[in-house]
Amino acid sequence: MAELKLIGAGLPRTATTTQLFALEQLDHGPCYHMRDLLADLERGLPLWESVAQGAPDWQRIFGDARSAVDWPSARYYRELMERYPQAKVLLSVRDSEDWVRSMRQTVWGVFHGDTVLHHVCEARASLDPLWRRFMALMRNMTWDEQTGVLAGETFTDEGLAAVMERWNESVKCTVPAERLLVWNPSDGWGPLCEFLEMDVPAEELPRLNTTQSFREGMISGGLSVVNDWWEARERPASGLHGAALS
Protein backbone atom coordinates (compact mmCIF):
# COMPACT_ATOMS: atom_id res chain seq x y z
CA MET A 1 0.00 0.00 0.00
CA ALA A 2 1.48 3.32 -1.11
CA GLU A 3 1.94 6.16 1.36
CA LEU A 4 2.33 9.85 0.56
CA LYS A 5 5.92 10.99 1.04
CA LEU A 6 5.18 14.62 0.25
CA ILE A 7 2.09 16.81 0.73
CA GLY A 8 1.75 19.95 -1.33
CA ALA A 9 0.18 22.84 0.61
CA GLY A 10 0.64 25.51 -2.05
CA LEU A 11 -2.29 27.35 -3.58
CA PRO A 12 -3.36 26.90 -7.19
CA ARG A 13 -1.32 29.00 -9.64
CA THR A 14 1.92 28.48 -7.73
CA ALA A 15 3.40 26.24 -10.43
CA THR A 16 1.69 23.10 -9.17
CA THR A 17 1.91 21.39 -12.57
CA THR A 18 5.63 22.10 -12.59
CA GLN A 19 5.76 20.54 -9.11
CA LEU A 20 4.04 17.43 -10.42
CA PHE A 21 6.71 17.08 -13.10
CA ALA A 22 9.51 17.77 -10.63
CA LEU A 23 8.30 15.33 -7.99
CA GLU A 24 7.90 12.53 -10.49
CA GLN A 25 11.45 13.22 -11.68
CA LEU A 26 12.63 13.01 -8.07
CA ASP A 27 11.23 9.56 -7.26
CA HIS A 28 8.09 10.94 -5.62
CA GLY A 29 5.66 9.78 -8.27
CA PRO A 30 2.99 9.13 -9.16
CA CYS A 31 1.94 12.60 -8.03
CA TYR A 32 -1.76 13.25 -7.47
CA HIS A 33 -2.93 16.57 -8.93
CA MET A 34 -6.14 18.36 -9.90
CA ARG A 35 -5.74 16.92 -13.37
CA ASP A 36 -6.43 13.46 -11.92
CA LEU A 37 -9.81 14.62 -10.65
CA LEU A 38 -10.67 16.41 -13.89
CA ALA A 39 -9.67 13.37 -15.94
CA ASP A 40 -12.31 11.19 -14.23
CA LEU A 41 -15.01 13.27 -12.57
CA GLU A 42 -17.38 10.32 -12.40
CA ARG A 43 -15.02 8.42 -10.11
CA GLY A 44 -13.35 11.32 -8.32
CA LEU A 45 -16.25 13.58 -7.45
CA PRO A 46 -17.99 11.20 -5.02
CA LEU A 47 -14.70 10.65 -3.20
CA TRP A 48 -14.00 14.36 -2.80
CA GLU A 49 -17.62 15.10 -1.94
CA SER A 50 -17.21 12.63 0.92
CA VAL A 51 -14.07 14.49 2.01
CA ALA A 52 -16.03 17.74 2.12
CA GLN A 53 -18.64 15.98 4.25
CA GLY A 54 -16.00 14.83 6.73
CA ALA A 55 -15.68 11.21 5.59
CA PRO A 56 -12.44 10.94 3.59
CA ASP A 57 -11.13 7.73 2.06
CA TRP A 58 -7.59 8.88 1.31
CA GLN A 59 -6.40 5.49 0.12
CA ARG A 60 -9.05 5.31 -2.57
CA ILE A 61 -8.35 8.87 -3.63
CA PHE A 62 -4.58 8.63 -3.86
CA GLY A 63 -4.12 4.98 -4.78
CA ASP A 64 -0.45 4.40 -5.53
CA ALA A 65 0.48 8.10 -5.43
CA ARG A 66 3.56 9.02 -3.42
CA SER A 67 2.94 12.77 -3.47
CA ALA A 68 -0.01 15.12 -3.89
CA VAL A 69 -0.05 18.77 -4.93
CA ASP A 70 -2.58 21.37 -6.09
CA TRP A 71 -6.25 21.62 -5.21
CA PRO A 72 -8.20 19.98 -3.72
CA SER A 73 -5.60 17.94 -1.82
CA ALA A 74 -3.71 21.05 -0.65
CA ARG A 75 -6.97 22.28 0.89
CA TYR A 76 -6.66 19.37 3.35
CA TYR A 77 -2.94 19.48 4.10
CA ARG A 78 -3.60 19.45 7.88
CA GLU A 79 -5.66 16.26 7.68
CA LEU A 80 -3.09 14.68 5.38
CA MET A 81 -0.26 15.55 7.77
CA GLU A 82 -2.04 13.51 10.44
CA ARG A 83 -2.83 10.66 8.07
CA TYR A 84 0.76 10.52 6.75
CA PRO A 85 2.95 11.57 9.72
CA GLN A 86 6.21 10.80 7.90
CA ALA A 87 5.38 12.94 4.88
CA LYS A 88 7.12 16.25 4.29
CA VAL A 89 5.14 19.37 3.34
CA LEU A 90 5.85 21.63 0.39
CA LEU A 91 4.44 25.17 0.43
CA SER A 92 4.93 26.69 -3.01
CA VAL A 93 4.78 30.48 -3.03
CA ARG A 94 4.73 33.23 -5.63
CA ASP A 95 4.97 37.01 -5.75
CA SER A 96 1.54 38.26 -4.75
CA GLU A 97 1.10 40.60 -7.71
CA ASP A 98 1.93 37.85 -10.20
CA TRP A 99 -0.29 35.37 -8.36
CA VAL A 100 -3.28 37.72 -8.32
CA ARG A 101 -2.87 38.47 -12.03
CA SER A 102 -2.76 34.75 -12.83
CA MET A 103 -5.67 33.83 -10.56
CA ARG A 104 -7.89 36.54 -12.04
CA GLN A 105 -7.52 35.03 -15.51
CA THR A 106 -7.71 31.39 -14.43
CA VAL A 107 -9.00 29.76 -11.21
CA TRP A 108 -10.75 32.80 -9.71
CA GLY A 109 -12.15 33.68 -13.13
CA VAL A 110 -13.84 30.29 -13.49
CA PHE A 111 -16.11 31.12 -10.55
CA HIS A 112 -16.31 34.92 -10.53
CA GLY A 113 -16.43 37.95 -12.77
CA ASP A 114 -17.99 38.97 -16.05
CA THR A 115 -15.69 37.16 -18.48
CA VAL A 116 -15.93 34.64 -21.29
CA LEU A 117 -14.12 32.09 -19.09
CA HIS A 118 -16.69 32.40 -16.31
CA HIS A 119 -19.74 32.38 -18.58
CA VAL A 120 -18.51 29.42 -20.62
CA CYS A 121 -17.89 27.42 -17.44
CA GLU A 122 -21.37 28.31 -16.15
CA ALA A 123 -22.92 27.34 -19.49
CA ARG A 124 -21.15 23.99 -19.27
CA ALA A 125 -22.51 23.52 -15.74
CA SER A 126 -26.07 24.03 -17.01
CA LEU A 127 -25.58 21.16 -19.48
CA ASP A 128 -23.16 18.77 -17.76
CA PRO A 129 -24.27 17.39 -14.34
CA LEU A 130 -20.76 16.26 -13.43
CA TRP A 131 -19.33 19.70 -14.18
CA ARG A 132 -22.12 21.29 -12.14
CA ARG A 133 -21.15 19.11 -9.18
CA PHE A 134 -17.48 19.95 -9.68
CA MET A 135 -18.20 23.70 -9.65
CA ALA A 136 -20.37 23.32 -6.54
CA LEU A 137 -17.70 21.30 -4.75
CA MET A 138 -14.92 23.74 -5.55
CA ARG A 139 -17.06 26.66 -4.40
CA ASN A 140 -17.79 24.84 -1.15
CA MET A 141 -14.14 24.04 -0.51
CA THR A 142 -12.69 27.31 -1.68
CA TRP A 143 -14.92 30.38 -1.87
CA ASP A 144 -17.97 29.75 0.33
CA GLU A 145 -18.19 32.16 3.27
CA GLN A 146 -18.76 29.30 5.74
CA THR A 147 -16.66 26.46 4.34
CA GLY A 148 -14.23 27.97 1.84
CA VAL A 149 -10.65 28.44 2.96
CA LEU A 150 -10.13 31.32 0.51
CA ALA A 151 -13.35 33.11 1.42
CA GLY A 152 -13.18 36.84 1.78
CA GLU A 153 -13.21 40.02 -0.24
CA THR A 154 -11.52 38.80 -3.40
CA PHE A 155 -12.89 41.21 -6.00
CA THR A 156 -10.10 43.70 -5.32
CA ASP A 157 -6.49 42.82 -5.99
CA GLU A 158 -5.59 43.79 -2.44
CA GLY A 159 -8.27 41.50 -1.04
CA LEU A 160 -7.22 38.53 -3.17
CA ALA A 161 -3.56 39.05 -2.25
CA ALA A 162 -4.55 39.13 1.43
CA VAL A 163 -6.30 35.77 1.04
CA MET A 164 -3.08 34.30 -0.37
CA GLU A 165 -0.96 35.74 2.42
CA ARG A 166 -3.41 34.48 5.06
CA TRP A 167 -3.20 30.97 3.65
CA ASN A 168 0.59 30.94 3.43
CA GLU A 169 0.99 32.21 6.98
CA SER A 170 -1.42 29.58 8.29
CA VAL A 171 0.66 26.83 6.68
CA LYS A 172 3.90 28.21 8.12
CA CYS A 173 2.33 28.39 11.58
CA THR A 174 0.86 24.88 11.35
CA VAL A 175 3.67 22.77 9.90
CA PRO A 176 6.78 22.13 12.04
CA ALA A 177 9.77 23.88 10.48
CA GLU A 178 11.75 20.66 10.08
CA ARG A 179 8.94 19.18 8.04
CA LEU A 180 8.28 22.20 5.79
CA LEU A 181 9.85 23.69 2.68
CA VAL A 182 8.66 27.11 1.55
CA TRP A 183 9.63 27.07 -2.11
CA ASN A 184 9.35 29.59 -4.90
CA PRO A 185 9.63 27.58 -8.12
CA SER A 186 11.70 30.43 -9.58
CA ASP A 187 14.46 29.23 -7.23
CA GLY A 188 14.78 26.09 -9.35
CA TRP A 189 15.69 22.55 -8.42
CA GLY A 190 18.21 23.31 -5.65
CA PRO A 191 16.06 23.89 -2.54
CA LEU A 192 13.58 21.18 -3.52
CA CYS A 193 16.29 18.58 -4.14
CA GLU A 194 18.03 19.44 -0.88
CA PHE A 195 14.75 19.13 1.00
CA LEU A 196 14.02 15.73 -0.55
CA GLU A 197 17.67 14.61 -0.36
CA MET A 198 17.82 13.95 -4.09
CA ASP A 199 20.36 14.82 -6.77
CA VAL A 200 19.65 17.82 -8.98
CA PRO A 201 18.51 16.71 -12.46
CA ALA A 202 20.50 17.85 -15.48
CA GLU A 203 17.55 19.44 -17.28
CA GLU A 204 16.10 22.79 -16.32
CA LEU A 205 12.89 22.98 -14.30
CA PRO A 206 10.13 23.59 -16.87
CA ARG A 207 7.32 26.15 -16.72
CA LEU A 208 4.08 24.28 -17.31
CA ASN A 209 0.35 25.12 -17.44
CA THR A 210 0.73 28.82 -18.19
CA THR A 211 -2.24 31.18 -17.92
CA GLN A 212 -2.79 30.85 -21.66
CA SER A 213 -2.69 27.04 -21.46
CA PHE A 214 -5.17 26.98 -18.57
CA ARG A 215 -7.63 29.24 -20.39
CA GLU A 216 -7.29 27.27 -23.60
CA GLY A 217 -8.18 24.03 -21.85
CA MET A 218 -11.07 25.37 -19.77
CA ILE A 219 -12.73 27.45 -22.47
CA SER A 220 -12.33 24.84 -25.19
CA GLY A 221 -13.67 22.12 -22.88
CA GLY A 222 -16.73 24.21 -22.08
CA LEU A 223 -17.34 25.18 -25.68
CA SER A 224 -17.10 21.54 -26.73
CA VAL A 225 -19.95 20.64 -24.35
CA VAL A 226 -22.05 23.58 -25.54
CA ASN A 227 -21.39 22.80 -29.19
CA ASP A 228 -22.30 19.12 -28.75
CA TRP A 229 -25.56 20.17 -27.10
CA TRP A 230 -26.29 22.62 -29.91
CA GLU A 231 -25.59 20.07 -32.63
CA ALA A 232 -27.93 17.54 -30.95
CA ARG A 233 -30.82 20.01 -30.69
CA GLU A 234 -34.17 19.58 -32.39
CA ARG A 235 -34.07 22.05 -35.26
CA PRO A 236 -37.06 24.28 -36.04
CA ALA A 237 -38.57 24.75 -39.49
CA SER A 238 -37.64 28.46 -39.55
CA GLY A 239 -35.41 30.91 -37.76
CA LEU A 240 -36.02 33.93 -35.53
CA HIS A 241 -39.11 35.92 -36.54
CA GLY A 242 -39.77 33.51 -39.39
CA ALA A 243 -36.41 33.98 -41.06
CA ALA A 244 -35.23 31.22 -43.37
CA LEU A 245 -32.67 28.80 -41.91
CA SER A 246 -29.33 28.78 -43.64
* pLDDT tens digits for range 7-62: 999 999 999 999 999 999 999 999 999 999 999 999 999 999 999 999 999 999 99
Q: In 3D, which of 63, 34, 224, 245 has the Cα closest to residue 134?
A: 34
The sign of the torsion formed by the CA atoms of 166, 214, 111, 20 equals negative
Q: Which helix (H) or strand (E) holds 104?
A: helix 96-105
Burial class (CB in 10 A: 0-12, 13-18, 19+), 168: buried
Point out which residues pair with 89 in neighbouring strands: 7, 180
Query: Domain boundaries in the chain?
Result: 6-229
The answer to whether the CB of 5 falls within 8 A of the CB of 66 is yes
How many CB atoms within 10 Å of residue 131?
21
| Model pLDDT for residues 214-238, shown as the tens digit of each residue | 999 999 999 999 999 999 998 888 8
CATH 3.40.50.11140 fits 6-229, yes or no: no
pLDDT at 158 over 90: yes
Rg from Cα positions in the chain: 20
Question: What pTM does this model have?
Answer: 0.93
Q: In what order do the strands lie in the sheet with 88-92?
A: 31-32, 67-68, 6-8, 88-92, 180-183
